[in-house]
Amino acid sequence: MTNKTIKQIAQEIELITEDNEYLIEQYKADSRKGIQQLITRWKKEQVAQKRAKARFHEMSQFEDTLFSQGIQLIAGIDEVGRGPLAGPVVAAAVILPKNFILLGLDDSKKLSEAKRDELFEQIMESAISVGVGMIEAKVIDDINIYQASKLAMKQAVLKLSQTPEHLLIDAMEIPIDLPQTSIIKGDSKSYSIAASSIIAKVTRDRLMKRIAQDYPQYGFEKHMGYGTSLHLDALNQYGVTEHHRQSFSPVQQLVVGMETNE
């Protein structure tokens, strides 16, 4: 057994990576429970790290193909907020550098709020350019949610500081004169689209929390405008706001009912 304390060994183990993992062997003969727990935890972390690397590699196929063709500026595009009864639909376009790696990146719907916030900051720091498009409820009612989603995506692309050479889009084609690839479930197949889904989701959630300050009785900060029982109860009790989509059921029925009663 070494004369080193558990704290000292813990600091040494923290420095062991996949490249020098053979160093962990020197601690296996140490029978102290604390050391064995450190080794077990390190092994679990290494397994998780390898899975994360494999996952990122899996999500790099579309980008790698384009990079191999000499294309440098690739924008991933996604939107959030098609389904809610209130609030805008928000789209993001993100151009990331060629050697970009961010382990843990995935479809925003699969991540916790804390993880999304963490990745949001890392993406914003690393990105070559980020553009955000936003279409409010009234316009959604005028042109329908599908067209509003396309318009938000187009806005996001136009707000990029550099013109992308190719667009990778989550299950959509947008009316813009740029080469583009539509990928079904793209937010789980392309890291660029996954990054844009996180930017769009965090941006929209933060906006809904600000709206909640003006309309605290609706609980927007909890459901982000989706049709939860809390939201539906508030609608029935307080009526609709300027942020509600009046073309969406059950908001539409509520508005019609109010007009009929008048």
Domain limits, the chain: 6-57, 61-210, 214-261
Q: Per DSSP, which regions of 63-119 are E strands?
A: 74-80, 89-95
Is the entire prediction scored with pTM above 0.85? yes
Tell how strand 89-95 and strand 129-135 pair up. Answer: antiparallel
Q: What is the pLDDT of residues 139-193, one digit of tens each?
A: 999 999 999 999 999 999 999 999 999 999 999 999 999 999 999 999 999 999 9
Query: In the chain, which ranges are continuous DSSP H helix?
Result: 6-14, 33-58, 61-68, 113-126, 137-143, 145-158, 191-214, 220-223, 229-238, 251-261
Q: Residue 258's pLDDT is what?
A: 64
pLDDT number for residue 262: 54
CATH 2.60.40.680 fits 61-210, yes or no: no
Tell me what pLDDT residue 2 has.
67
- Low-confidence residues in the chain, pLDDT < 70: 1-2, 257-262
pLDDT of residue 157: 99
> Please, what's the largest Cα pairwise distance for the chain?
85
Q: What is the pLDDT of residue 99?
A: 93
- The answer for 218, left when phi > 0, alpha when psi is -120 to 50, beta otherwise, is alpha
Each residue of 119-140: pLDDT tens digit? 999 999 999 999 999 999 999 9
102 CB neighbour count, 10 Å cutoff: 16
